[in-house]
Amino acid sequence: MSRALVLNATYEPLGVVAERRALILVLNVRATMVEESGTVLHFSGGEIALPSVIKLNRFVRVPYRHAVPLSRRALFARDGGRCVYCAAPATSIDHVIPRSRGGGHNWENVVSACHRCNHTKADRPLKDLGWRLHSSPRAPVGAAWRVLGTGRTDARWVPYLEPFGVAAATA
């Protein structure tokens, strides 16, 4: 089943729901369809296009913003799908300070890496290899990053996610 991006009344990304749930929100006039998915639902009275992006008609205040969960997909999106050491396509994750040497599994210590760099680095610190990071890894911030944890990002969502810093998620 396909999914639809849910935007707040201010066009801030809130999350992802099933297309049918999005259609129910539109039919109950709780949301407006912004983009169609291209899938048409046929029923006895006619047909209707399922939404790909919907915007809520009323502003929803999100009282507590959870931190973005650390996942492989979100990590690759943060690093642009490239190895932070050599800029080759990333295939694995690497701990800057190896876990065997006390490094944690958190946003500030995990980066995307290609197989060659990850294998070469092994459990050694960057200083021993003479390597350095061009920028310090940080946890991503912003509402749109929560969309990454829901799976594959639809290309029609890009214009609504780019203003919130998630252009890399679709690459």
Strand partners of residue 92:
113
d(CA 56, CA 47): 23
**Looking at per-residue confidence, does 92 or 62 come out higher?**
92
Mean pLDDT of 16-29: 93
| Per-residue buried b or exposed e for 25-38, using 16+ beta carbons within 10 Å of the residue's own CB | bbeeeebebbbebe
d(CA 67, CA 142): 9
d(CA 28, CA 126): 56
By the 8 A CB rule, do 81 and 168 touch? yes
Q: Mean pLDDT lowest for which of 14-18, 24-28, 75-79, 167-171? A: 167-171
d(CA 9, CA 78): 26
